[in-house]
Amino acid sequence: MDPLTEHRTVNGPIVYGFLRLPQTAAARQTALTGALVEYCHSHELVLGAIFIERDSTTTASSTAFTGLLDVLDLPDVYGVVLPAASHLGPKPIAAERRLQITGSGVRLILARGSRTIRRTSDRCRRSTPSSAPTVDTET
């Protein structure tokens, strides 16, 4: 299926990915990164970057998550895309992170199951895909 915007250049919507991968093989990281890129391509979202958390943190703040929150303050950011909700961390951490993301006014998009957690009832806008750099942090 060809993108709906194939004949027009459209800026945005821009999303950022987040992966929580403590003690994960390189093949799994490659597969999950590819899944986010493909999801964004098929939904015509621009994937700005993917933030990767490698440590098994016991708090909601980490270098990768703080970096993600920082880019959410940029103009025209539409949302955060995750393969599944489990990438936010264990339940207490995930709940806090979910509030921080949705509290910033962007959408939290789960690729598995294609669910979108929205702060507002705006309809989805779509755009042409791009390749996404990976922001890999080790703390």
Q: What is the pLDDT of residues 3-46, one digit of tens each?
A: 565 556 566 699 999 999 988 789 999 999 999 999 999 999 99
Domains assigned to the chain: 14-137 (3.40.50.1390)
CA distance 56 to 69: 19
The pLDDT value recorded for residue 35 is 95
Q: What is the pLDDT of residues 84-125, one digit of tens each?
A: 999 999 998 999 999 999 999 999 999 986 545 544 334 333
CB distance 34 to 66 below 8 Å: no
Q: Which of 1, 39, 11, 36 is nearest to 128 (CA)?
A: 11
Phi, psi of 19 (to 5 degrees): -125, 135
Can you say how many angstroms the Cα of residue 69 is from the centroid of all Cα atoms in its chain? 11
